[in-house]
Amino acid sequence: SSAPYRIMLLRGTCLRRSLVLCTMLRRRGAHARVCFGVERRGTVLDAHAWVAVGGVTEATDSRFHELPRAWSA
């Protein structure tokens, strides 16, 4: 839902939503992480962020290929 972002007058991007959701889940003890993916269409790269919890990801667009993790927290 984008309701909190309308109140704050901020755009609710997938990155912002994923960071907030991941933080909330981790505070409640879940092993959550933010995933990043890209899709290449010719010379254009589209990017997307989503949350994975215990190996299960939220519903996301399958056209994005997850980037490998550079570090682990």
pLDDT digits (tens, 9 = 90+) for 18-73: 999 999 999 999 999 999 989 888 999 899 999 999 878 766 667 888 888 776 65
- Strand ranges across the sheet with 44-53: 56-57, 44-53, 32-41, 65-66
Q: Which residue has the tokens 């949350």?
A: 51
CB neighbours of residue 18 within 10 Å: 22
Mean pLDDT of 8-14: 69
Burial of 27 (0-12, 13-18, 19+ CB in 10 A): exposed
